[in-house]
């Protein structure tokens, strides 16, 4: 009996785990934004050392670029700690399967891997391939954290059998893959663009027009999958009001993203507008992953009983 009591005393309630998982996902989204800010303001080489900013000085000297770069490192502490907590708490939370623990472990390890990858990126003078890899790993980790949060939501609030037929869930998987391709080609577009991450001239990774050409076509593939999903949800809106609302949010994000993308391209890519575009791209990616996860592992609040 004493052993059982000790085990239970270490349990984490499903509601508490949901808070931790959600906070982890939000912090990983924020770090995507601060990392993009470093790149777009040309602050990527403002700190020449790691974890301190300069040799012999942990904190940066007074200056805009070094403050932005060092600030990004400070902000990175939050997702590291929160993802570690989510990993430790997962096996102690009743109702969460072993797969959840593996996802939480992957999120934490991917977050930790960003530190040496960031240092390597600096040592290679912000080579666009390394910068793109750094960004894409951040999005992979964000996707894992979002899926973990949706799973935690279902565990805390109840889960039901997916109302979507198997063929639609397959389309949803295509949607995620298309969205991933969209993000990758968007990253290539940024790698070919005028914001290399440092004030010095840095060789670009690809031709901008070629990158945009592929990016536009990836958008078309994503749009077709999304339209199929919307058509089914509209027909079944009485049964799945929560999923309809979630899809409506994704549609709003997509329309806003397309508008910002067009404006930034016609205005020669001002850095602050590119930052908005990156933030929206990360939001579209995270929301898409969350929506598709909810179609496969449906939390009860999303459907009408």
Share of the chain above pLDDT 90, in %: 53
Residue 150: closest CA among 168, 171, 176? 176
User: What is the reported pTM?
Assistant: 0.88
85 to 32, 107, 267, 285, 288: CA distances (angstroms): 20, 11, 43, 24, 25
- Average the pLDDT over 66-88 and give the result: 90
Output the six-digit token pair for 227. 């339209």
Residue 97 — very low, low, confident or very high, per pLDDT cuts 50/70/90? confident
- Is residue 229 within a helix (H) or strand (E), and if so which, with residue range? helix 208-235
**Taking 70 as the threshold, does the pLDDT of residue 287 lie above it?**
yes
133 to 114, 136, 273: CA distances (angstroms): 10, 5, 22
**Taking 80 as the threshold, does the pLDDT of residue 216 lie above it?**
no
Residue 193 — very low, low, confident or very high, per pLDDT cuts 50/70/90? low
Residue 173 — very low, low, confident or very high, per pLDDT cuts 50/70/90? very high
Let me know how long the chain is: 305
The pLDDT of residue 7: 42
State the chain's mean pLDDT as an integer.
84
| Cα 298 from Cα 159, distance rounded (Å) | 6
Q: Do 278 and 32 meet the contact criterion of CB atoms below 8 Å apart? A: yes
- Is residue 293 within a helix (H) or strand (E), and if so which, with residue range? helix 271-296
**Taking 50 as the threshold, does the pLDDT of residue 26 lie above it?**
yes
- Alpha-carbon Rg for the chain, nearest whole angstrom, is 21
- Is residue 159 within a helix (H) or strand (E), and if so which, with residue range? strand 159-160
Output the six-digit token pair for 62. 């007074």
Output the six-digit token pair for 68. 């932005």
- Is residue 130 within a helix (H) or strand (E), and if so which, with residue range? helix 128-157
């Amino acid at each position: 009996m004493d052993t059982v009591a000790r085990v239970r005393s270490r349990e984490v309630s499903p509601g508490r785990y949901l808070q931790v998982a959600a906070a982890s996902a939000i912090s990983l989204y924020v770090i995507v934004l601060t990392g993009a800010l470093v790149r777009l303001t040309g602050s990527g080489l403002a700190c020449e050392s790691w974890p301190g900013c300069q040799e012999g000085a942990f904190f940066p000297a007074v200056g805009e670029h070094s403050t932005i770069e060092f600030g990004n490192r400070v902000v990175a502490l939050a997702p590291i700690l929160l993802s570690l907590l989510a990993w430790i708490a997962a096996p102690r939370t009743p109702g969460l399967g072993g797969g959840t623990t593996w996802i939480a472990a992957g999120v934490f390890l991917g977050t930790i891997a960003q530190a040496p990858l960031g240092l390597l990126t600096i040592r290679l003078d912000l080579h666009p391939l390394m910068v793109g890899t750094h960004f894409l790993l951040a999005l992979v980790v964000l996707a894992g954290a979002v899926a973990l949060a949706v799973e935690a939501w279902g565990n805390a609030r109840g889960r039901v059998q997916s109302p979507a037929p198997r063929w639609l869930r397959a389309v949803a998987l295509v949607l995620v893959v298309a969205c991933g391709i969209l993000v990758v080609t968007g990253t290539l577009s940024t790698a070919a663009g005028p914001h290399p991450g440092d004030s010095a001239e840095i060789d670009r990774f690809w031709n901008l027009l070629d990158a945009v050409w592929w990016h536009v076509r990836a958008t078309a593939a994503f749009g077709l999958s999304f339209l199929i999903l919307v058509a089914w949800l509209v027909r079944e809106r009485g049964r799945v009001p929560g999923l309809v609302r979630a899809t409506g949010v994704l549609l709003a994000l997509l329309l806003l993203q397309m508008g910002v993308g067009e404006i930034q391209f016609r205005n020669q890519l001002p850095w602050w507008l590119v930052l908005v575009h990156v933030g929206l791209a990360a939001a579209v990616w995270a929301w898409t992953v969350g929506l598709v996860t909810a179609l496969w592992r449906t939390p009860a609040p999303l459907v009408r009983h």
